[in-house]
A and B are shown apart, each in its own frame.
Chain A
């Protein structure tokens, strides 16, 4: 390999930087959710922990989770059960590493990062599936099956939507896509953007697409048997997912670091746009009732897939005619 010392240091720095972002941003989103949801529902939300508007609530939650007893059910497939949270969490970390906040602020600028991020986030579902299967609990298994079916169904429109963006930009790299972005895309790629957003929310199993963890039917789906820190990992992975998807949306559809004062703000623009999307995701949770399993599938196959294909056709024709 011939890696020099400075190379090693750089790699470590980058990795640690990603880790730091990964630990901070989800907490930010989580706190936002607490507060935004509370206010939408006419209440205050956390107010005490840490003093100012309960800013440290999630940190306190974390400390609490660490101290809780970790139970592995006697009937469970123990190794798989214990490892599942890591499988659910790590992919989002890796995905985060490939998302550029600006041309310079990116941990790993892969040549086909759009495809890479899609592929890696899809691995996360494996954690849920492992959790559901290894729990040896009927609710868990049912939840895992639902989660898997949901992922499968929504992955397709999402991939098609991303393909359409890639086609428009002529690049598979997120940096390249953001570089090729122009405001005109806001209209031209709108159907694709909607498809992507809906599919992203569905992949995260966020309400209204939270059938896999529907507490009134199957307790807490695949996570029913989890306690303590392992359970916290699943929660964390959900919020990390929101971060990743929001940033991805910002880069793909909102031009990432392009903004009014792009020279000055740069990566901050991307974060800002991503944050807005995260708020939208939170808003969806409050505003919409849960979809039934069959409605959910029909939405994917009969609305989103055709819509994404139409978007693809539109982009294709546009590209060919303008090229």
Chain B
């Protein structure tokens, strides 16, 4: 199925003399996509060299990351463009700083996920199809995520969005036990419904604007006409709802805890990080031309954000499985992510992206630690203890590196110093809302900031305890090297952005 979608993605840009074609601009998308196919070929040729497959994946992602740099360095008014047809606003692919930063986020988080699921690190995982399938799926979904960020027309947008989604479903199912099946089914049904909505929304977009590109000019023109305005708003609503599924916004969130709990931790990390980047990137592509759309969409996003935060936080507060906790926290954070969009001004897209990236870094670190703790053999032979909060008792003292990383991640998610990046992200997210004078929404956000603090400090308090208080605490003698690399990579990003938040925010403008 990856094959199909990859291929259709490659069919989309017709390489004729009519169309400009710049490989280097497309590279952040093409490199992982090609690597996904290459891994499958490698798997056919040399099925036993699983480390080689993983290496290819890692190298492709590193290359992809390097290739996003030119886009990051551009200004918002002058993005890298390619696949341009000879018409006004006719470019199908635009990589400005925001899009490139999101690409960077997607590729980077996928890199951490790949390192984390390095073959042989987790003896419990007998993944069906072998590591090559996992690597290939991750790469394909990452290509989709990178593509959707820069997509400018309905076609590549749809294809890339689903390319980012479908492999994720398969990834969840890969663990191959009952919860995985259930999680995959939940995710599957959700993404089917979401795709239906998005497709219908895209069709209505075309109907109302008469344009297959996300063009601000065409949207403005459609908004001026009362009849087309209704259609366009309906399209926006459908697109928003469809993406709400992917972003786990309430009321489209129910799949999140099931899928996270069913998947392996690396895959859950992938869902929480890369998939979310893809979803938000897709949303930003839609929202940008709608900046002038006015109240209904604005109100809708604000409502979604408020409800998501509240419900996510409240339910996260009562979870005992760290993965489920992180799942509900995703729901809450998704609310924060779209919060600035309710202001619908120039700042808000970058603010939303900035918040998302901060969240992605922190949540990745959390997942890395959860994975290491969960996959470590336990003292008294219990198998599932990493999946309860008590398993983290005294981690800060028992294993300072893991405990410190997790602690910093949790504080970042809570938005408390020393997790300064989380705090700055909250400032960034609230700024457009306050600037637009949406006081009610700001008040809800304030309340949720407090509940969020409670959510993460509840876990953090467990880390702080005396290690001897906990039951059968994990004996983590040594962390496997790839997992350590993942930890160092994501942890370093967290520390660096906490000390110098500009590293993160500077990417976006």
Answer whether A and B touch in the complex at a CB cut-off of 8 Å. Answer: no
